[in-house]
Amino acid sequence: MSRIIWKGAISFGLVNIPVALKAASRSHTLDLDLLDQRDMAPVGYQRINKHTGKVIDNEHIVKGYQYEKDEYVLLSDEDFRQANVEATQTVDIVSFVEADSIPPYYFDTPYYLEPDKRGERGYALLHETLRKTGRAALALVVLRNRQHLAALLVVGKALVLNTMRFADEVVPIEDLSLPKGGKGKAASPREVTMATKLVEDMSEDWKPEQYRDTYRDDLMARIHAKIKAGKTHLLTPASEEAAPSGKGAKVIDMMALLKQSIGHRGHAGVRPATRNADLQDDEEEEGDNKPARKKTAAKKASAKKTATKKAATKKAAPKKAAARKAAPAKKRKAA
């Protein structure tokens, strides 16, 4: 069931017909995701601020009209609606033309019109009038913040509103290089006769349900064949290590710091590798760890005294040796 896109009224002369607009077409294109071939990670579509390079939330995105270089006027949804309230709520019929006289390349997107509350009688009147006269109603309507030329056409028991291109949006046929029918380029009567016979042989009643997107079917068959052959790839899950900075990332960093700190406690004289580790060690030394800090200081003081004593001993060693050599010489003189 199509959803309602727009509610308003068909207006021609003094007649006003409440209607609801619904989509008359739907897409069957394959929904394909973008993946990084190297690690099968999904590639997402993001709206990026061109100055900061950061992703922008939809709530911060607005429409702007550049009236001078780098000068903008911001437009809200209310601005679009208030620009012409009547135009945004009305299918305003401006004329009626022969339905067969509209070239097909003017048509754009079809929509169904169904009568809204209290609109059944007027809807039936317009439908029957268009059917009986073979006319199409040309109208102006604003959809999705843009005004469209549109044609109201009878299709079975329903009215279809088909948006159209304005004349300046259609490339003139005169711009094409077409056969001019000169000698050697025009079709011969015999060729036309044979082509006409072929057309008659291939003619049949209009049955749109017998036509389908066979390319999509072939592509889906190829996809299923790859699945059956096991040629599939597992989507790479989001890595916890790559999580954006937040509570989770802080927990991971803190665990690393705790492990690093525990390792340093068993190696005297080894300094932590990071400033965060220094801060962690400082925090560990406070509070209940004050006695441990005193013991460490005492060990350092003891080590310093030992080193000083060893240095003094080394300096005194040459003097003692010289004294030992001088003692025997004195004894020999006395003898």
Residue 93 has pLDDT above 90, yes or no: yes
In this structure, what DSSP letter does residue 266 have?
T
User: Looking at residue 233, what is its pLDDT?
Assistant: 75
Over residues 303-316, the pLDDT tens digits come to: 555 555 555 555 55
Average the pLDDT over 205-230 and give the result: 85
3-state secondary structure 268-282: CCCCCCCHHHHHHHH
User: Looking at residue 322, what is its pLDDT?
Assistant: 53
Q: Where are the domains of the chain?
A: 4-170, 247-285
Contact 277, 257 (CB under 8 A): yes
User: Looking at residue 271, what is its pLDDT?
Assistant: 45
Over residues 172-212, the pLDDT tens digits come to: 888 888 777 666 677 888 888 999 999 999 899 989 888 88
> CA 5, CA 114: separation in Å to the nearest integer?
12
> CA 289, CA 279: separation in Å to the nearest integer?
14
Within the chain, strands assigned E span 4-12, 15-23, 35-36, 41-42, 63-68, 71-75, 90-98, 107-115, 135-143, 146-155, 158-164
Q: Answer with the residue of higher pLDDT: 294 or 148.
A: 148
User: Looking at residue 276, what is its pLDDT?
Assistant: 41
Residue 151 has pLDDT above 90, yes or no: yes
Give the pLDDT band (50/70/90) at residue 130: very high
SS3 107: strand
Q: Does the pTM exceed 0.75?
A: no
Residue 139 has pLDDT above 70, yes or no: yes
* Percent of the chain residues past pLDDT 70, beyond the cut: 67
Which of 26-35, 127-136, 195-204 has the lowest average pLDDT? Answer: 26-35
- Domain 4-170 CATH assignment equals 3.40.228.10: no
Average the pLDDT over 222-232 and give the result: 84
Q: Answer with the residue of higher pLDDT: 178 or 118.
A: 118
User: Looking at residue 127, what is its pLDDT?
Assistant: 96
Average the pLDDT over 29-40 and give the result: 75
Give the pLDDT band (50/70/90) at residue 131: very high
